[in-house]
Structure formats: structure tokens, C-alpha cells
Amino acid sequence: MHFDPTLPPQLLHRLAPQAAEGLPRRTFLKLAGAAAGTGFALGAFPLAAGAQQDGPAALKPHQQPSAFVRIAPDGIVTVTVNRLEFGQGVLTGLPLILAEELDADWSRVRSVHGDANPAYADPAFGMHLTGGSNSIKNSYTQYRELGARTRAMLLAAAADQWKVDASALRTENGFVVGPGGRKLAYGELAGAAMKQPVPQAVTLKDPKQFRLIGKPTGRLDARAKSSGQQAFGIDVRVPGMLTAVVARPPVFGAKLRAVDDSAAKQVRGVRAVVRIPADRGGEAVAVVADGYWPAKQGRDALKLDWDTSGVAKADSEQLLAQYRELARKPGAKKFDADMGPLASAPHKISAEFTFPYLAHAPMEPLNCTVAFDGSRAELWMGTQMPGLDALAASRTLGVPPTAIKVNTQMAGGGFGRRAIPSSDYVVEACNVAKAARGAGVDAPVRTLWSREDDVKGGYYRPMHVHRAEIAHDAQGNILAWDHVIVGQSILKGSPFEAFMVKDGIDATMVEGMKEPYALPMRLSVHHPEVNVPVLWWRSVGSTHTAYVMETLLDEVARATQQDPVAYRLRLMGGKHPRHQAALQLAVDRSGYGKRQLPAGRAWGVAVHESFESVVAYVVEASVENGTPKLHAVTAGVHCNLAVNPLSVEAQVQGAALMGLGMCLPGAAITLKDGVVQQSNFGDYTVARITDMPKIAVHIVPSAEPPTGMGEPGLPALAPAFANAIARITGKTPRALPFVSV
């Protein structure tokens, strides 16, 4: 990874989104965080939900150092992180930001997860959320201020002890330094600092003073993970804990006619077989046993008679035909430019694109451990929405939110699957624990999904069909672009529908369309109702919109014999400096246009903005015996200030591989008569390390506040790969995953 110092910093900063109107923020904070209670070494944190200091400029819970910083007598600084760590590096990035303003000794900094306490809500959205590439972006200023407030309290404590003015003191690497070089370690001052008032306003460092932020920094969890010592949600062990596996409906929402559990109950180690409600109005059966293996054997021994008569049975082939028919008709309009030029244009492109359902397939399957005594419950799971899940547990178990405690665990991936508005896997685990208790089992229960359960268990990236009619002239000027997208809404019925579904259009499905290019586009949308649960998937709508936009633009460039880089820059019209900088950096570092490629290889280019960050790819690819092969990838990244360049590099590498995975044969979830046909990595393809091309990541320097990086590395990879294939074969792949070309 290379941090390029030669390009000028970009001063353009897109403000972080404000809390959405209509989101029940106060209610959410009061309920979701009411159960939490933790002691901290700095200050007295107001544990009552929504509590804050008196006064017109009172600090809110997420601004209180007491909730986030603990300094031990030996000087160890423990930072509580308000997000889920599931591979993106947030347990290092946010402590790094706080430690910068605290002037902490980085070698003595540690980090832990927060919980459903209101202090740990996203400060921009007012709810507990890890998603949308918002962790660093939305908490950057928050954690800087937390560090600065803590530092000010330490300075005040030292000033009291030395009987000097605090302005005569400074901090340095975990010490307060006074006149004459006297020093007090942070650990010596922590107790006295607790008693200092928390300053309302603090002065933050000039970025030129940073000694930690912007420097490549190893992750705090790297040693544990690389040595196999890191514990995840799946590894939770609670005294007396039992394990449950669940037999779920073969068709989403199906119910049970009859259950014969006699053989299951004969399996050694099985403690109970219980019937529970299932997601989407269905029913299921849980087998509770001493461990996973007897629970699985018990489930295998069940004889279940399913009633699927009352639910729709999705079929991929039939859906594709229906979607294609819908794509020929106008839907709800997002853009409505004049399409008059289509009739008389000298050059036209007609294109149809298809994208399948995709599973999240994180390495750690879903799991949730519940200890329920009838009046209170404690939960352990890797969750992206601990507050929402706590409320769901409260409703399911029939106890007040104050009786729910959530212990956020490290998660082995998620890509959106652990951020479910329905809290499906948490609700299921609570139903299992409640039913087990009703059956006389008084023990914590871990509900564990197998890989097969995870792949077949629903909540997929939706299937989509795009249809485009484009008119252009001989110079590549776009005269008219008529575009229709068909796909399920992932927001309908969720808490986000009120402010992200407008005029019948799910905003996530059209993100990435048209921008950054000035195009006369008519864009309309169809959201069919299908009995398949769908959800955001890493980079959300940009998984398909970037592919369509960037391959079609490349096709126009080829048709008019223009260089695809120069063509994109011309369409941007000098109005998108961050896109231009990222693209130019990738071009310059790849050797595009200057270096001769080996015989049979071609360049591919794409650039896309998502979550306020821009990633451009220049790739080298070939087609070997009809199979596309990706050899090398050069990335240009504009994410404003890179808090930790190593984390940016890792996120781009991982996202690029996941984007490549969308292209590989077998990367599709298909349904027949309502039943998901895939079950494991043998029939659902994910990219492996052997598929990884050589990749170099270059970052455009900037001092502007950071934007998101968990997802933006994914969207542009597949279209860049496809554009290289098209330059070899003369045809753009119109479907993902790729087939032989």
C-alpha cells in the first residue's frame, strides 16, 4: 500500500448526514439503552437513559468521557467502542482517534465493545448502528472530543496537585508535564481526574499536529486473530449453557401440520424439543441439547410435515421472466429527463442486465446466546444493532427493556446480515430460550446456525433486472438515457422506510445512478412483492448500479473510439475533483496507457462513489479458454483523511475480493418452488484466496474529515473487470455472475 504524497489535498468535504427526520431517536435511546450499566474510571456516567448534565449546553451521553475512557493505575487506557468489530478495524480506528487527542501512549491503549447503553448510539443517527460505512465518519469528531475532554480533566487534576495554572502544563505520551520537567503519569492522575468537571467545549488539534492519525498502524486485535485466540460470538461459553439448532420452514413463512419428535428425544444429550414461531409468520422446531452435535442429530431425527399452501413460492426462473416484463414498462420515476432524442438518435445502445440474489455468507454463521430467568435476560451476540435487538428481545420475552442486557461480541463477518430491522436471529434465540424454560429447561441456551442454515436462512441481496435505452452521437455525447430497475425494496416495513422510501422508490436501489456524470436520464423503478426476505449487502444498491453505469459508459467510449479514462473525465466536466483525483491516481500508478500488457491481456477501468468515498480501479484481465481471469488491480481511493492507511488498504483488498466474488460462476442464490437451492460453499461460490489478484492500493492525501471505507471498495471492481473482458471479446457481460465468454 502506498500513500501518495505528490497529489494536492482535496478540500471538498461532504457533510455527514444528519439524523433523519421521523426516526424516533429519543424513544430509541431511552428504551434501547436503559438496561446498560458500567462503571468507569473517569467521572460519574449518568446511567439513566437520556440523562445528561443540566444547563442549556449540557453534554449528551455520547459526549461524556466517562462512558468511553478508563485509565487504570498502571496507565493502561481502555477505550470503549460504540460499534461492532467484524473485520473492519473499528476496535483500532476509534481508539486511535481518541488517543490522538488524549496524547496517550499508544502501546498502552486497549479497546472493548460497548453495549446497548444510550451513550453508544451513532451520534449522527441517534440509534445503535454499525453499518453504512459510518463508524469512523460519524464518530470521528465525537472520539476526538472525548479524547480532548479527558486530556483537559487530567490537566486540571495535575494543576490542582501542583498548585499551578493548567495553562502552564502540557501532555505527552501518557504524561502530564509541568514546569521544570515534572511529570505525572495518567494512571497516577485518573482518580483525581474523575472528580473534575467535564468541559463543555474543547479545542482540537490541528491535523498538522497529528502523531497517530494518518500513520499506518497495526490493529489491536491482530495478534489474537492471527494466533487463533480471538473469541467470537460463536465461542461464548456460559456456565450450564445448552445449545439449540432449529428446523426452519423449507419455504419462507410456512407452518407445521404435524411434528413427530419421538426419535429426536431419544438422542443422547437432547434435553427438549420445542415448537416456536419462525420469521415471517412461519413456525419452526428447536432441539435443545448438551452441545451442537446432539442438537443437530436430534434435528436430523425429526419428522416434520410442512404446510406450504398458504405462502407464495418464489421461483428464480419465473421471477426473471416477470422482472424482464416489468423492465419494459415505466415505473415510479426518480429522474424524468426528455426522452425525445431516442427516436432520432444516430447511435443507440439497448441493454438488459440481470443480477441474482446473493447470500452474505460470513465466515461465522449466525448465533445468539440467551440466559433468561423469566424476569430478566442477558444476551451475547455479534450485533450491528444492539439497541434494536434489545428492544426485540424485550418484546419477545415479555419483559421491560430495562431487564435486557446485551453483551456485544466480536463477529466473524456480517456484511449487513447482523443488522436486521426484524432482529430475526435474536428473536428466534429468545423464542427458543423462552420455550425451553417453559419445557422445564432452566439454563442459558445458545442458538447456533450451521453454514447450511445460514445460506438457506434468508435475507439476501435482492435479485435485480436493469433495462437501458441510450442515445448518443458520434462524439459520445449522451442525448437520452431511459433506464428501468426492477427489484424488491429492502427498506419496506423497516424503521427506515419513513424517510428512505419516497414516492414509491427505495433510495438504496437507485444510489449510484447517474452521478457523477451529467446525463439526461429518465429513471424509473418497480418494487415487486416477493416471498424472499431481502436485506442490504455490502455496498447495498451500488452492487448493481455501479456495474450497469460503468459498463455502459465504457461501451459508449468503445463505440466512439475514445479512451475510457479520458471519456469519463470529460463527462465529469471538472465538477467532481475527488472522482478525478482517485481515477487519475489509479491510472498513474497502474501504468495505464504507458506500459505494454502481456499478450492476451487488456485494461479495464471503473470509478464509483458510495458512502461519500470514491474508489477507482484499473485492472488487468484476460480470457483463458472462455473463462475470464483477473490478474492485477490498482486502486485509487479518496476517503478524505485516512485515519489508519493500513485499515483502508485492508478494506479495499477485502471489498475487491468480495466484488470479484460476484463475478465467479456459482455466485448466485436461486429458488425453485420457494426453496433455496444452495446450502454451502460447495454450491454457493465465494471468492477464495486463490482468486485474489495482485492488488495495490493508493490513497489520495487529504486533511478533510474522513468518509466511509467499509463498503466503497466493492462496487467498481466488477465493472472494471467486465470492461477488460469487453475489450478482449467485444462484448460486455450483461449478467452476474459471469458465464464463459
- pLDDT given for residue 678 in this prediction: 98
Cell numbers describing residue 627: 473463462
Same structural domain, 247 and 189: no
- pLDDT given for residue 230 in this prediction: 97
Residue 558 has pLDDT above 50, yes or no: yes
- pLDDT given for residue 5 in this prediction: 31
Task: Tell me if 172 sits within 8 A of 103, measured CB to CB.
Answer: yes
Q: Where are the alpha helices (DSSP H) in 439-487?
A: 451-456
Same structural domain, 268 and 285: yes
Same structural domain, 238 and 220: no
Task: Tell me if 448 sits within 8 A of 243, measured CB to CB.
Answer: yes
- pLDDT given for residue 85 in this prediction: 98
Same structural domain, 333 and 374: no
428504551: which residue's cell? 31
| Mean pLDDT computed over 494-504 | 93
Any domain includes 454: no
| Mean pLDDT computed over 632-638 | 98
Grouping H, G, I as helix, E, B as strand and the rest as coil, residue 125 is coil
- pLDDT given for residue 740 in this prediction: 72
- pLDDT given for residue 57 in this prediction: 59
Q: What is the pLDDT of residues 641-670, one digit of tens each?
A: 999 999 999 999 999 999 999 999 999 999
- pLDDT given for residue 739 in this prediction: 84
Pairing label, strands 270-277, 283-289: antiparallel
Q: Domain range for residue 154? A: 33-226
| Mean pLDDT computed over 429-433 | 98
* Distant-in-sequence, close-in-space partners of 11: CB < 8 Å, separation ≥ 6: 702, 704
Domain-ending residue, one of 402, 424, 448: 448
Q: Which amino acid is at 211?
A: R
Q: Which candidate, 6, 215, 189, 3, places its Cα nearest to that of 93?
A: 215
| Mean pLDDT computed over 185-189 | 98
Q: What angle do CA 515, 521, 522 make, to 5 degrees?
A: 130
Q: What is the pLDDT of residues 572-614, one digit of tens each?
A: 998 999 999 999 999 999 999 999 999 999 999 999 999 999 9
pLDDT band at 703 (very low <50, low <70, confident <90, very high): very high
- pLDDT given for residue 261 in this prediction: 98
Same structural domain, 465 and 600: yes
Q: Comparing 32-41, 293-302, 714-723, which segment has the lowest mean pLDDT?
A: 32-41
Domain count for the chain: 3
Any domain includes 281: yes
Residue 386 has pLDDT above 70, yes or no: yes
Q: What is the pLDDT of residues 446-474, one digit of tens each?
A: 999 999 999 999 999 999 999 999 999 99
Higher confidence at residue 37 or residue 678? 678
Any domain includes 741: no
| Cβ neighbours of 599 (radius 10 Å) | 6
pLDDT band at 316 (very low <50, low <70, confident <90, very high): very high
| Mean pLDDT computed over 102-110 | 98
Task: Tell me if 677 sits within 8 A of 671, measured CB to CB.
Answer: yes
Percent of residues, the chain, with pLDDT higher than 70: 92
Same structural domain, 395 and 354: no
Same structural domain, 96 and 79: yes
| Cβ neighbours of 647 (radius 10 Å) | 23
Q: What is the pLDDT of residues 76-87, one digit of tens each?
A: 999 999 999 999
Q: What is the pLDDT of residues 36-61, one digit of tens each?
A: 322 223 432 223 333 344 444 589 99
- pLDDT given for residue 92 in this prediction: 98
Cell numbers describing residue 37: 450499566
- pLDDT given for residue 56 in this prediction: 41
| Mean pLDDT computed over 676-700 | 97
Any domain includes 337: yes
Cis bond upstream, residue 737 (ω within 30) = yes
474 secondary structure, DSSP code: T
Any domain includes 195: yes
**Average per-residue pLDDT for the chain:** 92
pLDDT band at 495 (very low <50, low <70, confident <90, very high): confident
**Any idea of the CA torsion for 468, 565, 709, 12, to the nearest 10 degrees?**
-100
What is the DSSP annotation of 192-241? HHTTSPPPS--PPPPGGG-SSTTS----TTHHHHHTT----GGG---TT-
- pLDDT given for residue 6 in this prediction: 32
Percent of residues, the chain, with pLDDT higher than 90: 90
Same structural domain, 351 and 385: no
Same structural domain, 217 and 333: no
| Mean pLDDT computed over 681-698 | 96
Distance, in Å, from the CA atom of 86 to the CA atom of 413, rounded to the nearest integer, reads: 5
Task: Tell me if 353 sits within 8 A of 545, measured CB to CB.
Answer: no
Domain-ending residue, one of 179, 199, 226: 226
Residues in a beta bridge with 176: 171, 184
Same structural domain, 336 and 204: no
Residue 201 has pLDDT above 70, yes or no: yes
- pLDDT given for residue 41 in this prediction: 34
Measuring CA to CA, how many Å separate 90 from each of 133, 570, 647, 660?
11, 37, 9, 24
pLDDT band at 680 (very low <50, low <70, confident <90, very high): very high
Residue 91 has pLDDT above 70, yes or no: yes
Same structural domain, 182 and 57: yes
Any domain includes 587: yes
Residue 499 belongs to domain with CATH number:
3.30.365.10
Same structural domain, 239 and 222: no
Domain-ending residue, one of 422, 448, 474: 448
Task: Tell me if 359 sits within 8 A of 460, measured CB to CB.
Answer: yes
